[in-house]
Amino acid sequence: MAEILLSEVEKYYLVMGVGQDVRVDGRSRSDYRQGDIDLNAVTNSHGSIRARLGETDVIVATKVDLGTPDPDRPDRGTIKFLVDCSPTASPDFEGRGGDELAEKICRILSIAYDKSGTIDLKNLCITPKKYCYVIDVDILVLQCGGNLIDVISMAVKLCLGICELPRVTGLRYDLGQGVPVFSTDEFEFDYLDVKNSPVVVTLPRVGRYFVVDASLEEESCSKGKLAFGVTPDGCVTSIDKLGRGCYQVKSIQAATAMASTVGANVNNTINMRIDSLRELKLRADPKPLSMPMDI
């Protein structure tokens, strides 16, 4: 990512402003920037979302496939994450340049989803030990305007919420092996229950305070960040320290309290948005009706 160069005076202004709870763009320390959501950014997926928050722009697409479960966990499906930093965000991301950042984000997401038990992966199992749903979540980072991990986690939650899992209508017996058969009807699908899945809230420390949704300038003035995975009821599922900086135990406690209230609010907004998007999908479906309307 390109380094933001700020003069000493600009840094002073920024840090002092944060201390007075008035940031450079007028927000308070716990305010998010305005964001938009676009559905169906990618056509050949089971669900895709383009999410923007300020200047950060991310496209997330999910694809559902049939696979075999992990031998250690035979009654669960799997969710795999792949992050791709496009060179449109910065020419440094070309080739191997963006891999480090991508791997970091991937790790945070997998820990938040696989190990915390907030999505019931048992729902993704079709036949224990043999067949399960494998959900591939692909994330493309188009622009990075600060607070990348948060936007990605929000977009992933939205995308998993509107992902259409094709329903299994039965088993086809092929030489004694039962292979699941999927329904070809567009309307026969299930949604994943993502009500309890976590959202990451990154809190960089600017001066003596933590800020929510930092822009690139604020991140460059910060001493390290704490990334919390927070569920809708305010529970913290993971904590990651990123960057350089050290904290006293009291600071971590204060940050945890802030992250848990902010994260709970974000989760509720996203849960409401998922419900409205699901309704929208049903209403706007252009599939032609088999019977004319005026009968």
Partner 1 sequence: MPRGKSNNKSNKKTKKEEVNKMTKLIPPAREPEVMDVDDTGGDETGGAAEEEEEEETQDFGPEFNPTHFQFLVEEKSEQFFEGQFQIGRPIRAAHNFLENPHGAVKLFQGDTCALCAVYGPTEIRMSKELPHRAAVDVLFRPKITGTSKQSQMTGWDSTLEERAIEAKLVGILESVLYLEDDMGAGFNIILHEFENDGCLFSTCINASALALLNAGCSMRCCFAGVTILVNETNNTLIVDPSQSQIDSGFDAMITFVLSNDGHVLFSSIQGRTKTNMIRLCLRQASEACKEIFVFQKQLQLQECSDFINGHSAVKPVNARGLKDEDIKVKLEDMKIDEDEENYEDLDDGEVSSSDS
Binding site for partner 1 (CB under 8 A): 11-12, 15-16, 19-22, 25-38, 42-44, 50, 52-55, 57, 84, 86-91, 94, 140, 142-145, 205, 207-209, 215, 221, 223, 244-248, 250-251, 253-254, 257-258, 265-266, 268-270, 273, 280, 284
**CA nearest 158: which of 114, 123, 197?**
197
Asked if 267 and 259 touch (Cβ cutoff 8 Å), the reply is no
Q: How far apart are CA 189 and CA 194, in angstroms?
A: 15
Asked if 234 and 117 touch (Cβ cutoff 8 Å), the reply is no
Task: Report the C-alpha dihedral over residues 273, 279, 281, 286, rounded to 10 degrees.
Answer: -150
Closer residue to partner 1 in complex, CB, 74/207:
207
Asked if 45 and 63 touch (Cβ cutoff 8 Å), the reply is yes
Q: How far is the CB of 67 from partner 1 (least distance, A)?
A: 14
Q: How far apart are CA 256 and CA 236, in angstroms?
A: 8
Q: How far is the CB of 56 from partner 1 (least distance, A)?
A: 10
Asked if 159 and 48 touch (Cβ cutoff 8 Å), the reply is yes
Asked if 30 and 254 touch (Cβ cutoff 8 Å), the reply is no
Q: How far is the CB of 17 from partner 1 (least distance, A)?
A: 10
Closer residue to partner 1 in complex, CB, 54/180:
54
Asked if 162 and 39 touch (Cβ cutoff 8 Å), the reply is yes
Closer residue to partner 1 in complex, CB, 28/169:
28
Closer residue to partner 1 in complex, CB, 250/295:
250
Q: What sign for the dihedral angle of Cα 104, 200, 31, 51?
A: positive
Q: How far is the CB of 288 from partner 1 (least distance, A)?
A: 15
Q: How far is the CB of 295 from partner 1 (least distance, A)?
A: 26
Q: How far apart are CA 179 and CA 258, in angstroms?
A: 49
Closer residue to partner 1 in complex, CB, 142/168:
142
Q: How far is the CB of 271 from partner 1 (least distance, A)?
A: 11
Closer residue to partner 1 in complex, CB, 31/240:
31
